[in-house]
Amino acid sequence: GAVVSQHPSWVICKSGTSVKIECRSLDFQATTMFWYRQFPKQSLMLMATSNEGSKATYEQGVEKDKFLINHASLTLSTLTVTSAHPEDSSFYICSAPRGSAREQYFGPGTRLTVT
């Protein structure tokens, strides 16, 4: 089956610093990847759509200058949380569709804690 990895699986950083999260499709190419954020007992909320070779599309209310997305290759998208604050602490998950399939393959998630 299709496999998506994320790195790191968890990270603790100090307020004001930046954190980069990587999302890789291991056995397929993904021209599009999605970044979600999930707070405890809440649904996955789409933050942005990452497009290989072009700019990401951000959902309303998500600051593009704070959450930088780079889709550098057909297998890698990165999310950088800049000047992180405690309220950015959350579970960040990426996903990718494979080919023309409707279902999506999710990474294992990254737990970010900002102190």
Partner 1 sequence: SQKIEQNSEALNIQEGKTATLTCNYTNYSPAYLQWYRQDPGRGPVFLLLIRENEKEKRKERLKVTFDTTLKQSLFHITASQPADSATYLCALDTSNQAGTALIFGKGTTLSVSS
Report the interface residues with partner 1, using CB under 8 A: 4, 6, 31-32, 34, 36, 41-46, 49, 91, 93, 95, 97, 99-109, 111
Residue 59 or 83 having the CB closest to partner 1: 59
- String of b and e for 1-24 (b: at least 16 CB within 10 Å)? ebebebeeeebebeeeeebebbbb
Closer by beta carbon to partner 1, 16 or else 39? 39
Kindly report the backbone phi and psi dihedral angles of residue 108, in degrees, each rounded to the nearest multiple of 5, phi listed first: -75, -10
- Of the two residues 14 and 102, which places its CB atom closer to partner 1 in the complex? 102
Count the Cβ atoms, other than its own, within 10 Å of residue 75.
Answer: 19
Q: How far is the CB of 90 from partner 1 (least distance, A)?
A: 13
Q: Tell me how far, at minimum, the Cβ of 36 lies from partner 1, in Å.
A: 8
CB of 16 to partner 1, least distance (A): 26
